[in-house]
Amino acid sequence: MLREARVYDKSEVYQLWKQSYPTLDRNYLNFYFKHLFDSGVCLIEEKDQKIVSSLQMNRHVLHFHGRKLVCGFLCGVSTSPDYRRRGYMRKLTESMLDEAAHTHLITLVPAFQPRLYEPFGFHTIYYQKQYMIKKEELNKVTIQNVSYSAELKELLEVYQKFTSRFDGFYERTLDSYEMMQKELVATQKQMVIYRDENKEVKGYLIFGMKNGEVHVEEAIYLDSIALLRMLKCAIGKAEEIFINVSPSEKLEKLFPLAIPKKNSYIMAHINNYELFNKLFCCDISSVKEAFALLHKPLWIHETY
């Protein structure tokens, strides 16, 4: 039986996610179910008096071609190993997309398994570039004006300035950054901030350890000095640091020896082409054509 999850299903869905994502950081999983799970819509499939499959959809405001659109973000696709290959994921996805067609124009999903979502009309629209930067490339950089704290308002303001160069990004609020700080504490990640000579925040980095390596998960910066100094601080005693950025960010200009690795990151689905065409005065019939309308490069680094 397919239905929407209720409060008393939460612990069982948690165990299903835990079983389906054995490599997912447990601290992050605990954070998600404590602070975020209840704010989304979760569909579940029950079989043999237990939850055997689930799918979560969170809603956000997306900046898209001069408008602010409510979008859906699918995550937590999970099916118990004993019940896989029975069509439960397809059933949940079709049901969720049917609901999405009545509430918003665009649905996003992580592009970790493109072939899983392509049959439903999803298309990969966003890639990340990962650079590996060696410590010696930062030898001449100082950490002057780099600190570990900032007001939420300052973080939001620098994010808004940074994303003004892009399109396809989430609308963030002070609540977004309050939640981000809770996530940093829960997952033991860190944030470094760079201020200019006038004490104005010009950027921040979020980073943590992954398999013994330093990984930057989000880099917000208004100039190259901010980025370089924050990377210098984040790398610490490590020999190298990994950073994920958008395709339009050319870090090889700062690090000529760094060769980026391209990774699929976000897929999109247009839920109602007729309404989309009416809203944007166009005549598109595919996800690729829809995102080709944008005049600025994409920047989508969200995970839920």
* Residues 98 and 168 placed together within one structural domain of the fold: no
* Residues 28 and 63 placed together within one structural domain of the fold: yes
Please, where are the H alpha helices in 164-219?
174-187
The per-residue pLDDT of the chain, averaged, comes to 96
Structure confidence at residue 89 (pLDDT): 94
* Residues 140 and 256 placed together within one structural domain of the fold: yes
pLDDT digits (tens, 9 = 90+) for 110-158: 998 899 999 999 999 999 999 999 999 999 999 999 999 999 999 999 9
* Residues 114 and 208 placed together within one structural domain of the fold: no
| Domain range for 281 | 2-126+265-291
Would 84 be classed as within a structural domain? yes
pLDDT, mean of residues 24-32:
95
* Residues 114 and 38 placed together within one structural domain of the fold: yes
* Residues 197 and 284 placed together within one structural domain of the fold: no
Count of structural domains within the chain: 2
**Cα–Cα distance, 264 to 214 (Å, whole number):** 21
CATH number for the domain harbouring residue 89:
3.40.630.30
The answer to whether the beta carbons of residues 109 and 73 sit under 8 Å apart is yes
**Cα–Cα distance, 83 to 51 (Å, whole number):** 10
* Residues 212 and 254 placed together within one structural domain of the fold: yes
* Residues 239 and 279 placed together within one structural domain of the fold: no
